[in-house]
């Protein structure tokens, strides 16, 4: 299993808009494209204005294929357009790729 931690630096004043977009549209679109989101977090220090979430993928090849399908989905394209009429929501996005270790089992 491949775990992708996505870190979004959100433009000031846009945190609620991006959270609404995930809640109302993106999570279901991810599911449609076989991407499972396991958790969301906001930075404890609100001044950082960051949103974090983890997506599970079978492997890097499937991750790339699923994101390509997601980015080309007409529903996503329209959702992005509408939610960014007042400007982009994300200033910067970073992905960190992780895998399970052999020495630790969380039961």
Prediction pTM value: 0.90
Is CATH 1.20.1050.140 the right assignment for the domain spanning 2-98?
A: no
- What is the C-alpha to C-alpha distance for residues 3 and 16, in angstroms, rounded to an integer? 25
- Express each pLDDT in 53-80 by its tens digit: 999 999 999 999 999 999 999 999 999 9
Question: Which residues, other chains included, contact 96 with Cβ-Cβ below 8 Å and sequence gap of 6+?
Answer: 4, 5, 7
104 band by pLDDT with thresholds 50, 70 and 90: confident
Secondary element (H or E) of residue 38: strand 36-42
What's the DSSP call for residue 47? G
């Amino acid at each position: 299993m491949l775990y992708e931690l996505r870190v979004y630096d959100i433009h000031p004043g846009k945190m609620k808009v991006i959270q609404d977009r995930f809640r109302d549209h993106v999570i279901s679109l991810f599911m449609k494209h076989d991407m499972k989101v396991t958790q969301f977090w906001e930075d404890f220090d609100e001044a950082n204005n960051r949103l974090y979430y983890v997506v599970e993928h079978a492997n890097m090849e499937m991750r790339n294929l699923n994101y390509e399908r997601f980015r080309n989905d007409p529903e996503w394209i329209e959702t992005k357009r509408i939610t960014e009429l007042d400007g982009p929501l994300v200033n910067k996005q970073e992905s960190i790729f992780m895998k399970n270790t052999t020495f630790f089992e969380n039961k």
